[in-house]
Amino acid sequence: MMKKLKSKYVEEYVMRSLMILATLLVLVFVASIIWTIFSKGIRSLSWDLVTRLPGKDWNTAPDGGFLNAILGSLMIVLPASVIGAAVSIPVVFYMTMYKRRTSRLSYMARLAYDVLYGIPSIVYGAFAFTIMVMVGMRASVLGGILVTTLLIIPIMIRSGDEIAKTVPDEIVEAAYSLGATKWETLKVVLRQILPGMVTAFLLAVGKAIGDAASVMFTAGFSDQLARSLSDPSATLPLAIFNWITMPDPFPERAYAAALVLTIIVLLLSLTSRIITRRITKNNL
Amino acid sequence: MEDNTAKSVPLIVEHLNLSIEGQPILKDVNLTFPNNKITCIVGPSGCGKSTLLKTLNRLHETTDYLEVEGRVTIDGQDIIQARDTELIELRRRIGLVPQKPCPLPMSIYDNVAYGCRIHGMHRRKKEMSQTVERYLTEVGLWDEVKDRLNAPANRLSIGQQQRLCLARSLAVEPDFILADEATSALDPVSSRTIENLFVKLKEKYSIIMVTHTLPQALRIADYAVFLYLGEVIESGDATEVFNNPKEELTRKYLQGAFS
């Protein structure tokens, strides 16, 4: 009896230690990534770097800044997020409200988005590039927007769907039993899941803005600011990718760009937290 | 205050058959629910009580692979076959108090006002405030919440939430109130509060409740329905059904031979 009891304690102790160890490991990862980027990035980051375009000799010497990449990334990701959300939100709602979970259409839809979700971004890039070549389009902001939208949609739908599943049936039944239509019920449900949706969507945006592979062939590169949708444009992840493999002192710029990218993503998740908190607080 | 005591609105179930994935859940159910009485549906777990309740305002629709035949009529209008536009009005007339209290994700005030708003009732602000106060008073919640009407409803205690759900259903002026084990998640005191409310409310509404606890049914039922394996074994005046059951199965159930 005592022996059995003791082995239980040992088991509990070992399992708990493992969990703590794993958690610490993750924290160490996060801390070392942030530490590397900040310590290396902050040294080379300057006001000029983020406010100026590349100089004439950007290709051979650290000349000018990388404003083109910062704005390029934003120019591609912001419209892509808006279009992505505009497509994903109705799909999520449709799958949750208008079709039963077991209906064939929503089953197929879920399967499709699972597959899309798992496709590597380089494949999206290659696919979009093929299409662009077929229609005679060259690497441009528009191409970048399109492929980034493709990349964002499955992420948004998957996470939106997961969140929509957490809505208790009772809320839906309560609204129905008061005589609410499906659309009115949806609005009630939306209040419940909005914080989660906002977080999920901003995470998708964060993932998209950091992706180099998808924009590599589709948005191209330019040392200038894109003046129209058909101009090619630099992006932050690609700038990092280029600089990090070049001889010194270029990798320093890569770290500076990585720092800027990290700050943008951190700001995004911070904003999502603030929005979420505010929404939950007022409960709309 | 308007008085609808005299109003007689029949809610009738005729030849109701329901199956889920081919498995029959309700078999040829025929019932007429009396007005201004508390009807208790009793029976062992899994006998179809909750499903029967759900068909009364067509909430069974959310279940997959479900087939239903027969009629459920309120005031002569069939709920099962109703078009979406009619269904809205029919559902308004049949309120629901859920098993687990479930406030809508909004303020206490809005929870009560919500139903009225979607039906376009009480468009004036003052009128709406009076309505909210009236129904919160009716469920005995007004004094407890009058200073924090704008607080989120989910901050209330479970017992208060359940009374709020009741107020929410009452606000759209239904004829019937369905309660699916409405007290099972509550502590004994809150549970008794809800029971007493039902007894008070039956003057104006007809109440149909599903209950697991036989003592509760014995305390408050006027009319009783005993359901066993999807069939109505016995129904009638509660005192009759509980004290002088005609059927052997009912007697066994009441004696606690099975539950």
Q: What was the pLDDT predicted at A283?
A: 47
**A212 Cα distance to chain centroid:** 12
- State which residue of chain A sits closest to B97, comparing Cα positions: A174
- State which residue of chain A sits closest to B119, comparing Cα positions: A179
Contact A178 B172 (CB under 8 A): yes
pLDDT surpasses 80 at B1: no
- State which residue of chain B sits closest to A283, comparing Cα positions: B106
CB-CB: which of B105, B119, B152 is closest to A188?
B105
Q: How confident is the model at residue B6 (pLDDT cuts 50, 70, 90)?
A: very low
Q: Rounded mean pLDDT of chain B?
A: 88
CA B41 to each of CA A69, B183, B245: distance values in angstroms, whole numbers, following the listed order:
69, 14, 15
Chain A nearest-CA distance from B118, in A, is 7
Q: What was the pLDDT predicted at A82?
A: 93
Strand ranges (DSSP E) for chain A? none
Chain B nearest-CA distance from A173, in A, is 7
Contact A283 B152 (CB under 8 A): yes
Chain A nearest-CA distance from B44, in A, is 23
Least confident of A103-107, A190-194, A262-266: A103-107
The full DSSP string for B72-92 is EEETTEESSS--HHHHHHHHH
Contact A179 B104 (CB under 8 A): no
Chain A nearest-CA distance from B88, in A, is 4
CB-CB: which of B84, B105, B115 is closest to A178?
B115
**A224 Cα distance to chain centroid:** 25
Q: What was the pLDDT predicted at B2?
A: 45
Whether the CB of A102 is below 8 Å from some CB of chain B: the reply is yes
- State which residue of chain A sits closest to B176, comparing Cα positions: A177
Whether the CB of A180 is below 8 Å from some CB of chain B: the reply is yes
pLDDT digits (tens, 9 = 90+) for A143-158: 899 999 999 999 999 8
Q: How confident is the model at residue A78 (pLDDT cuts 50, 70, 90)?
A: very high
Is the peptide bond preceding residue B10 cis, with omega within 30 degrees of 0?
no
| A and B: number of Cβ contacts within 8 A | 78
Q: How many CB atoms within 10 Å of residue A81?
A: 23
Contact B91 A176 (CB under 8 A): yes
Residue ranges of the domains in chain A? Answer: 11-44, 50-282
CB-CB: which of B62, B65, B105 is closest to A191?
B105
Whether the CB of A171 is below 8 Å from some CB of chain B: the reply is yes
Task: Check which CATH number belongs to the domain holding B44 and give it.
Answer: 3.40.50.300
pLDDT digits (tens, 9 = 90+) for B173-214: 899 999 998 888 888 888 888 899 999 999 989 999 998 888
CB-CB: which of B59, B168, B172 is closest to A173?
B59
Instruction: Mutation target for B interface from A177, A188, A280: give the one with most B CBs within 10 A.
Output: A177
Chain A nearest-CA distance from B95, in A, is 6
Whether the CB of A192 is below 8 Å from some CB of chain B: the reply is yes
Chain B nearest-CA distance from A186, in A, is 12
The mean pLDDT value for A170-184 works out to 89
Chain B nearest-CA distance from A174, in A, is 7
pLDDT digits (tens, 9 = 90+) for B47-65: 888 899 999 988 888 777 7
Contact B106 A283 (CB under 8 A): yes
The mean pLDDT value for B126-135 works out to 92
Q: What was the pLDDT predicted at B7?
A: 62
- State which residue of chain A sits closest to B100, comparing Cα positions: A170
CB-CB: which of B84, B102, B165 is closest to A168?
B102
pLDDT digits (tens, 9 = 90+) for B100-123: 889 998 999 999 999 999 998 888
Query: A107 vs B251, which has greater pLDDT?
Result: B251
Distance in angstroms (rounded) separating the CA atoms of residues A184 and B28:
34
CB-CB: which of A172, A188, A191 is closest to B62?
A172
Distance in angstroms (rounded) separating the CA atoms of residues A282 and A262:
30
**What residues contact residue A203 under an 8 Å CB cut-off, 6+ apart?**
A155, A159, A269, A272
Contact A171 B152 (CB under 8 A): no
Whether the CB of B92 is below 8 Å from some CB of chain A: the reply is yes
CA angle A114, A216, A26 (to 5 degrees): 55
CB-CB: which of B64, B92, B99 is closest to A178?
B92
Q: What is the pTM of this model?
A: 0.77
CA B136 to each of CA A76, A153, B109, B202: distance values in angstroms, whole numbers, following the listed order:
52, 45, 9, 17
**What residues contact residue B102 under an 8 Å CB cut-off, 6+ apart?**
A168, A170, A171, A173, A174, B161, B165
Which 3 state secondary structure label does DSSP give B180?
A: strand
Distance in angstroms (rounded) separating the CA atoms of residues B154 and B40:
29
Q: Are B103 and B164 in contact (CB under 8 A)?
A: yes
The CATH number assigned to the domain with range A50-282 reads 1.10.3720.10
CB-CB: which of B65, B98, B107 is closest to A174?
B98
Chain B nearest-CA distance from A151, in A, is 32
Q: How many CB atoms within 10 Å of residue B50?
A: 18
Instruction: Mutation target for B interface from A101, A166, A178: give the one with most B CBs within 10 A.
Output: A178
Q: How confident is the model at residue B3 (pLDDT cuts 50, 70, 90)?
A: very low
The sign of the CA dihedral B212, B217, B222, B223 is positive
Number of domains within chain B: 1
Whether the CB of B131 is below 8 Å from some CB of chain A: the reply is no
Find the domain containing B203 and state its range: 11-105+175-254
The sign of the CA dihedral B230, B231, B235, B239 is negative
Whether the CB of B51 is below 8 Å from some CB of chain A: the reply is no
